């Protein structure tokens, strides 16, 4: 009896599997997409990565496909969940390359997962334009993996952007020199705090409160209360999504309302404004876009129409831009030959939703957004390393 | 020590199987190789887990702690100029030391208390590493080596051979005998003059050292490691469920769990990328309900039935 049940299950599985097989047209380009649908990074990927995969495939197919040397070819996306596990990312990319024989593979989501799969991309010659990998070792990585490109910038630039914005506000007489700085004791929080300390000092700021808290902590009131007791002119938190929300909420409760209030990752998420409404006005955060530019406005409208969700104001547009670069390179090279496309990426500039992209000597986009601010319900870029469209930062006026 | 004819048969069979497994990279199929690495990795982890948990019935969820310790040992070692091959024994020693410390502190605990403690251990080590990073201001570590997947696969096979030999030797030794008695009834074992803590700690050290070495070997594959990736609790759970699927009563038990489970998991990941966790949960339920004693239990009850049938015939 039991054995029959098992056979039934196996049979059902086989049937469903074969049904789920290829439905798309014969000559469609197979594009692989690997990213977290489960695990710690699933939340971020659900905002930044997956909707853009969907939007890009939609845009390409609606336009009749990608022009490969005169023939228009639709794209068929093959998606895999890597469960935020580098071993699974490696396996999924491997599977795309050898079993699905994907024509191209989109770069995975997140720093660690991108770097873990870079050797597989390299081995099969797939160009890899990363959209969510932030690394301080871009030089080493691009040396080892010449087909790997970086769009989102590095930690030193992100921290430097904050220092610049605060310096400008101080020069305008809006804030003083006392900074309270906290960081989440994990990966980027640590690196950003480390990068920021000397830069603040050099710019003549005094860090009057410097503290860290563990990842995943529920009670952020000691952090905020400590900062409030120091009575700072600016509050800077190198935070992750859950604590970005937690710190903002706690600051409202405790009445910590300096003229400059900065939280890092996820401040640029639409959910942030959704949660805090008008109180989000004037909050500074990591990322930013040229929010008033037509390219972004048009992109955001299509994003919402196709996926039903708003893009975030940081990595969403670069993610889409990385797919555009791949598309333009295929069209430019006029072939699906991976080496030719990789060669085209290396030797050309690209025009994308985030503006023109050119590579520096380390295959990195040297011009990226570093700081944004919620202004009138939109998270506008206020500082970048050379992007056009920055607006001046405004002092925050309380939480009301 | 005298070897019976049966022993020689098993040894020969194992050696032949190992040699066949070692030929996998020769097929040139990189996809098969990446599945092979997953199987080899979990085979070693699950077997070494079962070495300890099988006879003692102590369910350990600390695999991720030792695994992560190993990856960090290799990463930090290479960064400070150590040769990769030196980091492997260092990881083994650190894993054994950690296991000994944990064992001294907790193996007096029994049942659910031990399970909870080991689960907490991975989190504890992860927090310590994070704290260290916070102090030193360094985040993820990069392991840029020339080690390829084929090397990793062969290393894992060698480690598997060592684990099987160790397990086989322990099974024939006084230590193995003592552990079986402990598993049956710890009180009886203690009254028979067995130093139960010592026996348990020794075996826990073997298990911990092995998991640490596996972590070391896989570090070059991940290239970039950070605490959340190296100490993922999922690893501990997968090792337990695979070992239980195979059955812990025999040395080869976990292996017959690891292979089908990895293939099933691969089929789920590739066919239902949106429902992996759901289907994983369902397969756990199926395993627990239909195969409470694992494949080993299934095979042995099948054998028994056949014998009974022969007896009645």
Q: A206-224, pLDDT tens digit by residue? A: 999 999 998 778 899 999 9
Q: Assign residue A84 the CATH number of its domain.
A: 3.40.50.2300
Inter-chain contacts counted by CB atoms under 8 A, chains A and B: 123
Minimum CA–CA partner of A137 in chain B: B142
The SS3 assignment for A84 reads: coil
Residues of A in contact with B269 (CB under 8 A): 80-81, 88, 91-92
Residue B313: what pLDDT? 58
What is residue A73's predicted lDDT score, i.e. its pLDDT? Answer: 94
In a domain, A389, yes or no: no
Which residue reads 């130093």 in tokens? B195
Confidence of residue A248 (pLDDT cuts 50, 70, 90): very high
Cα four-point dihedral sign A243, A367, A33, A300:
positive
| Residues in chain A within 8 Å Cβ distance of B140 | 111-112, 187
Which residue range(s) make up the domain with B172? 20-233
What count of other Cβ atoms lies within 10 Å of the Cβ of residue A175?
22
User: How many helical (H) and strand (E) elements, i.e. helices and strands, does chain A have?
Assistant: 14, 16
**Chain A residues within 8 A of B272 when measuring between CB atoms:** 20
CA-based nearest distance A241→chain B, Å? 15
The percent of chain A in helix, strand and coil, each rounded to the nearest 5, is 45, 20, 35
B293 token code pair: 């004693």
Q: For A379-386, what is the mean pLDDT?
A: 92
Higher pLDDT, A306 or B149: A306
Using the structure block, give the residue that is written with the tokens 């993922």: B232
Closest chain B CA to residue A10: B264
Contact at 8 Å (CB) between B256 and B247?
A: yes
Query: Quick check: A181 and A207 in contact, CB under 8 A?
Result: yes
Predicted interface score ipTM higher than 0.85: no
**Is B162 within the bounds of a domain?**
yes
Residues in chain B, overall count: 313
pLDDT computed for residue A180 by the predictor:
96
Query: Which chain A positions have a beta carbon within 8 Å of B29's beta carbon?
Result: 98
Residue A274's pLDDT band, with cuts at 50, 70 and 90, is very high
> In chain B, what residues touch A111 (CB-CB under 8 Å)?
140, 224
Question: What is the average pLDDT value for chain A, to the nearest integer?
Answer: 88
Residue B125 domain flag: yes
Please indicate, yes or no, if residue B180 is contained in any of the structural domains. Answer: yes
User: Considering only alpha carbons, which residue of chain B is nearest residue A115?
Assistant: B224
Nearest residue in chain B measured CA to CA from A91: B34
Could you tell me if A140 lies within 8 Å of chain B, comparing CB atoms?
Answer: yes
Q: Is residue A363 a contact partner of residue A370, using CB atoms and an 8 Å limit?
A: no
Distance CA B214, CA B21 (A): 18
Q: What whole-number distance in Å separates Cα of residue A26 and Cα of residue A79?
A: 18
Task: Provide, for chain B, the percentages of residues in helix, strand and coil under a 3-state DSSP scheme, each rounded to the nearest 5.
Answer: 80, 0, 20
- Residue A220's φ and ψ, nearest 5 degrees, are -100, 5
**A332 lies in the same domain as A281:** no
Instruction: Judge if A114 and A248 occupy the same domain.
Output: no
Minimal Cα distance from A38: which residue of B?
B277
- Tokens describing residue A20: 């789920």
Nearest CA in chain B to A81: B273
Residue B299: inside a domain = no
pLDDT at B53: 87
Q: How far is B266 from chain A (nearest CA, A)?
A: 9
**Sequence-ordered alpha helix ranges (H) in B23-141:** 30-56, 63-79, 84-106, 112-136
Assigned domain for A232 exists: yes
Under an 8 A CB cutoff, do B276 and A83 touch? yes
Contact B140 A2 (CB under 8 A): no
| Residue B266 with chain A: CB contacts under 8 Å | 91
| CB contact (8 A) between residue B226 and residue A112 | yes
Question: Per-residue pLDDT averaged across A271-293, rounded?
Answer: 92
Domain assignment present for residue A86? The answer is yes
Contact flag A116-B134 (C-beta cutoff 8 Å): no
Shortest distance between the Cα of B97 and any Cα of chain A, in A, equals 26
Which residues from chain A sit within 8 angstroms of residue B42, using beta carbons? none
The residue of chain B with its CA nearest to that of A195 is B137
Within 77-116 of B, beta carbons closer than 8 Å to A belong to none
Alpha-carbon distance values, B280 to A38, B110, B252, B272, B285 (Å): 12, 29, 23, 11, 9
A126 touching B (Cβ < 8 Å): no
- Is the minimum CB–CB distance between A6 and chain B shorter than 8 Å? yes
Specify whether A148 is located in the same domain as A161. no
pLDDT per residue as tens digits for the range A63-93: 999 999 889 999 999 999 988 888 889 889 9
Q: Across the interface, which of B31, B137, B144 has its CB nearest the CB of A95? A: B31
Q: How far apart are CA B190 and CA B198, in angstroms?
A: 11
Question: Does pLDDT of A16 surpass 70?
Answer: no
Query: Token pair for residue A116?
Result: 């873990």
CB contact under 8 A, A20 and B274: no
CA A310 – CA B172 distance, rounded (Å): 64
Total structural domains within chain A = 2
Report how far residue B269's alpha carbon sits from residue A39's, in angstroms, rounded to the nearest whole number: 14
Q: What is the DSSP letter of A311?
A: P
Give B71's contacts in chain A (Cβ within 8 Å): none
Nearest by CB to residue B229, choosing from A5, A112, A118, is A112
Q: Are residues A255 and A378 in the same domain?
A: yes
For residues A223 and A236, give the distance between their C-alpha atoms in angstroms, rounded to a whole number: 12
Query: Are A22 and A67 a contacting pair, CB within 8 Å?
Result: no
Alpha helices, DSSP H, located in A177-315: 187-202, 221-229, 241-254, 270-276, 294-307
Compute, in degrees rounded to 10, the torsion defined by CA atoms A236, A241, A244, A250.
Answer: -150
Beta strand residue intervals within chain A, DSSP E: 29-35, 66-68, 71-73, 75-81, 104-105, 128-130, 148-150, 178-184, 206-213, 234-238, 260-263, 284-286, 350-352, 355-357, 369-375, 378-384
Is residue B194 one of the residues assigned to a domain?
A: yes
A185–B contact, CB cutoff 8 A? yes
Burial class (CB in 10 A: 0-12, 13-18, 19+), B135: exposed
Show the domain range for A347.
26-154+293-357
Identify how many contiguous H helices and E strands chain B contains and give both numbers.
Answer: 14, 2
Residues 6+ apart with CB under 8 A from A197: A181, A207, A210
Give A197's pLDDT tier (boundaries 50, 70, 90).
very high
A5 interfaces chain B, CB cutoff of 8 Å: yes
Mind telling me how many Å the CA of B162 is from chain A's nearest CA? 24
Of residues B272 and A251, the one with the higher pLDDT is: A251
- The closest alpha carbon to A312, from A272, A364, A264, belongs to A272
Question: Is residue B239 in some structural domain?
Answer: no
B197–A contact, CB cutoff 8 A: no
Nearest Cα residue in chain B from A37: B274
B87 to chain A nearest CA, in Å? 20
Mean pLDDT of A290-317: 93
Closest by CA to A45, choosing from A124, A112, A95, is A112
Q: Are A285 and A371 in contact (CB under 8 A)?
A: yes
Question: Reduced to 3 states, what is the DSSP secondary structure of residue B43?
Answer: helix
Residue among B155, B163, B156 nearest B51 (CA) = B163
Nearest residue on chain A to B291, alpha-carbon basis: A2
Instruction: Examine residue A21 and state whether it is found in any structural domain, yes or no.
Output: no
Q: Are residues A164 and A285 in the same domain?
A: yes
Residue owning tokens 């292979």: B259
Assess whether pLDDT exceeds 50 at residue A13.
no
**In a shared domain, residues A133 and A144:** yes
Burial of B63 by CB count in 10 Å (0-12 exposed, 13-18 middle, 19+ buried)? buried
Give a yes or no: residue A136 inside a domain: yes
Strand order in the sheet with A104-105: A75-81, A29-35, A104-105
Do A119 and B29 make contact, defined as CB atoms within 8 angstroms? no
Tell me if residue A129 falls in helix, strand or coil: strand
Q: Give pLDDT, residue A24.
A: 42
SS (H, E, C) B2-32: CCCHHHHHHHHHHHHHHHHHHCHHHHCCHHH
Q: What is the pLDDT of residue B138?
A: 66
Between residues A2 and B178, the one the model is more confident about:
B178
The number of distinct structural domains making up chain B is: 1
In degrees and rounded to multiples of 5, residue A128 shows phi and psi of -130, 100
Same domain (yes/no): A316, A373: no
Interface test with A, best of B134, B145, B220 (most A CBs within 10 A): B134
Contact B144 A88 (CB under 8 A): no
Do A242 and A287 fall into the same domain? yes
Based on the fold, state whether residues A239 and A340 are members of the same structural domain. no
Q: Is residue A8 part of a domain?
A: no
Question: What is the residue-level pLDDT of chain B in tens, covering all 313 positions?
Answer: 567 888 888 888 888 888 888 888 888 788 888 899 999 999 999 999 999 888 888 889 999 999 999 999 999 999 888 899 999 999 999 999 999 998 888 877 767 888 888 888 888 888 888 888 777 766 678 787 888 889 999 999 999 999 999 999 998 898 888 888 888 888 888 898 888 888 889 999 999 999 999 999 999 888 888 787 788 888 898 899 899 888 887 888 899 999 999 998 888 888 888 887 788 888 888 887 888 778 888 888 888 888 888 776 5
Residue among B206, B194, B169, B164 at smallest CA distance from B1: B169
Two tokens, residue B7: 């022993």
- For residue B223, list chain A residues with Cβ-Cβ distance below 8 A: 115-116, 118-119
Nearest CA in chain A to B289: A2
Instruction: Tell if the CB–CB gap between B276 and A190 is shorter than 8 Å.
Output: no
Structural domain contains residue A12? no
**Does A171 or B300 have the greater pLDDT score?**
A171
Q: Say if B32 falls within a structural domain.
A: yes
**Residues A215, B130: C-beta atoms closer than 8 Å:** yes
């Amino acid at each position: 009896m039991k054995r029959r049940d098992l056979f039934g299950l196996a049979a059902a599985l086989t049937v469903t599997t074969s049904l789920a097989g290829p439905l798309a047209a014969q000559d469609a380009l197979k594009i692989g997409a690997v990213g977290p649908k489960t695990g710690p990074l699933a939340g971020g990927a659900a905002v930044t990565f997956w909707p853009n995969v969907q939007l890009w495939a939609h845009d390409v197919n609606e336009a009749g496909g990608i022009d490969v040397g005169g023939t228009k070819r639709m794209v068929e996306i093959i998606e895999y969940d890597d469960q935020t596990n580098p071993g699974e990312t490696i396996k999924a990319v491997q599977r795309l390359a050898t079993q699905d024989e994907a024509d191209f593979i989109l770069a995975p989501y997140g720093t660690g997962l991108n770097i873990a799969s870079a050797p597989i991309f390299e081995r099969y010659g797939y160009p890899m334009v990363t959209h969510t990998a932030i690394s301080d070792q871009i030089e080493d990585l691009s040396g080892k993996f010449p087909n790997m490109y970086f769009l989102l910038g590095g930690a030193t630039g992100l921290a430097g952007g904050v220092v610049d914005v605060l310096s400008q506000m101080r020069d305008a007489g809006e804030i003083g020199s006392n900074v309270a700085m906290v960081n989440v004791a994990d990966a980027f929080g640590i690196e950003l705090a480390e990068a920021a300390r000397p830069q603040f000092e050099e710019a003549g700021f005094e860090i009057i409160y410097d503290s860290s808290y563990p990842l995943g902590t529920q009670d952020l009131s000691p952090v905020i209360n400590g900062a409030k007791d120091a009575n700072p002119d600016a509050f800077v938190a190198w935070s992750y999504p859950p604590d970005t929300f937690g710190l903002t909420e706690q600051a409202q409760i405790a009445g910590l309302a300096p003229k400059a209030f900065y939280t890092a990752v996820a401040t640029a998420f639409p959910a942030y404004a959704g949660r805090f409404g008008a109180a989000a006005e004037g909050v500074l955060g990591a990322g930013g876009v040229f929010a008033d530019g037509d390219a972004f406005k048009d992109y955001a409208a299509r994003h919402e129409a196709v996926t039903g969700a708003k893009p975030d104001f940081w990595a969403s547009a670069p993610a889409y831009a990385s797919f555009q670069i791949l598309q333009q390179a295929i069209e430019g090279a006029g072939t699906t030959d991976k080496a030719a496309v990789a060669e085209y990426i290396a030797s050309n500039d690209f025009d994308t939703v985030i503006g023109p992209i050119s590579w520096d000597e380390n295959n990195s986009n040297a011009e990226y957004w570093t700081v944004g601010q919620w202004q009138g319900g939109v998270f506008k870029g206020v500082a970048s390393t050379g992007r056009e469209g920055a607006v001046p930062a405004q002092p925050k006026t309380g939480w009301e | 020590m005298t070897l019976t004819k049966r022993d020689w048969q098993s040894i020969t069979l194992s050696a032949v199987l190992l040699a066949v497994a070692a030929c996998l990279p020769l097929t040139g199929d990189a996809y098969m190789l990446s599945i092979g690495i997953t199987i080899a990795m979990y085979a070693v982890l699950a077997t070494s887990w079962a070495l300890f948990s099988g006879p003692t019935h102590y369910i350990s969820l600390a695999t991720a702690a030792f695994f992560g310790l190993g990856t960090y040992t290799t990463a930090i070692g290479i960064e400070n100029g150590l040769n990769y091959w030196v980091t492997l024994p260092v990881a083994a020693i650190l894993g054994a030391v950690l296991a000994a410390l944990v064992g001294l502190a907790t193996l007096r605990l029994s049942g659910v208390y031990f399970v909870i403690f080991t689960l907490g251990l991975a989190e504890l080590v992860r927090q310590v590493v994070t704290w260290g990073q916070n102090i030193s201001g360094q985040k993820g570590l990069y392991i840029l080596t020339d080690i390829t997947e084929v090397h990793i696969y062969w290393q894992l096979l060698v480690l598997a051979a060592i684990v099987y030999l160790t397990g086989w030797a322990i099974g024939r030794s006084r230590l193995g005998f003592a552990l079986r008695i402990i598993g049956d009834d710890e009180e009886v074992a203690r009254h028979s003059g067995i130093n139960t803590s010592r026996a348990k700690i020794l075996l826990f050290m073997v298990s911990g050292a092995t998991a640490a070495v596996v972590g070391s070997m896989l570090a070059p594959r991940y290239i970039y490691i950070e605490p959340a990736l190296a100490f993922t609790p999922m690893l501990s759970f997968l090792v337990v469920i695979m070992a239980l699927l195979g059955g812990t009563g025999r040395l080869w038990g976990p292996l017959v769990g690891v292979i089908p489970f990895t293939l099933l998991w691969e089929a789920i990941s590739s066919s239902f990328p949106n429902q992996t966790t759901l289907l994983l949960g369902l397969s756990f339920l199926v395993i627990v309900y239909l195969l409470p004693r694992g494949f080993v239990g299934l095979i042995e009850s099948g054998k028994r039935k056949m014998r009974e049938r022969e007896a009645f015939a």
